[in-house]
Amino acid sequence: MFSGCIVAQVTPFKDGEVDFKKLDELVEFHLEQGTDCISPCGTTGECPTLSHEEHEAVIANVVKKVAGKIKVLAGTGSNSTSEAIGLTRYAKKVGADGALMVSPYYNKPTQEGLYQHYKAVAEEVDIPIVLYNVPGRTGSSIAPETVARLSQIKNIVAIKEASGSLDQSSAIRALSDITILSGDDSLTLPIMSVGGQGVVSVVANIVPADVKAMVSAFKEGKTAEAEERHRRLFPLCRAMFIETNPIPVKTAMRFLGRLNGELRLPLCPMQPANEEKLKEALKDYRLL
């Protein structure tokens, strides 16, 4: 259901408010570039600093602008199960195609707690759910065995795997048939080599057509082309994490004239030395 190039959509701000006009422009860009799916209100979308009202408004705005042309995978995760249910219910109400749910952060549930959390949301809201494992952000990891258990629930259809471990993806693949999506741009091709079906991508905010071309090449058995595209994309992918995501990607979009680069505290502007490194990566990719 979810595969290919899924962009982890940035949330544009202007003078401290969500810039819905710019958001529409960014969505239109992805429609033109052939992006397979847009995922608003995730980590890259600065969801922790969006109010509930803003969170819902961004999802609704993206769904409306997409108008069924491509899929929308709305970020609806929370460390409160009841809050996650509410956000997921809203995403379904406004017409999102699925919900991307980060595992509960800070409270560090056990594996049984993780299972019960996702199970509760899946039973309450009949919408395709994509698990999101990012232990570097949440403080805990969804074990492959827990993923396998969750995959038996009919509307849990995929996992965005951002542990940074190929062993994790391989173990999930060995235990279940759940769709695996890379959550790390630089690992997209390696994860696809062990059974992944695409990526929820940060760098696709800048070069979605190139990300899609790499994923499509591998799926079509053009492994040499996919590897060549991976080698070219790799330095740019790494540059997106010189500082905490989405600081670099928003800064890059500012350099490219696509965004003002505004962030919300506690995220702050890049250090000048890192800005120069980012500019070099963009120049090397011939974007600047």
Determine which one of 160, 212, 250, 285 is catalytic: 160
Closest by CA to 218, choosing from 207, 230, 208, is 230
Q: Among this protein's residues, is 283 annotated catalytic?
A: no
The two counts, helices (H) then strands (E), for the chain are: 12, 10
Which structure tokens are listed for 180?
Answer: 């695996």
Helices (H), the chain: 20-33, 52-66, 81-94, 111-124, 135-138, 144-150, 166-175, 188-193, 208-219, 223-239, 247-255, 272-284
Q: Which one, of 123, 81, 122, 67, lies nearest residue 98 by Cα?
A: 122
Name residues whose C-beta falls within 8 Å of residue 117's C-beta, 6 or more positions apart in sequence. Answer: 81, 84, 103, 104, 109
Pick from 185, 160, 205, 162: nearest CA to 12:
205
Does 118 qualify as catalytic in the annotation?
Answer: no
Residues in contact with 19: Cβ distance below 8 Å, sequence separation at least 6, in sequence order: 12, 13
Spatial CA neighbour of 215 closest among 253, 173, 236, 187: 187
For the chain, the 3-state helix, strand and coil shares in percent, each to the nearest 5, are: 50, 15, 35
Report angle CA 212, 219, 202 to the nearest 5 degrees: 30
Catalytic residue among 132, 212, 250, 285: 132
Q: How far is CA 101 from CA 60, 77, 161, 226, in A?
A: 17, 4, 12, 29
Q: Which residues are catalytic?
A: 132, 160
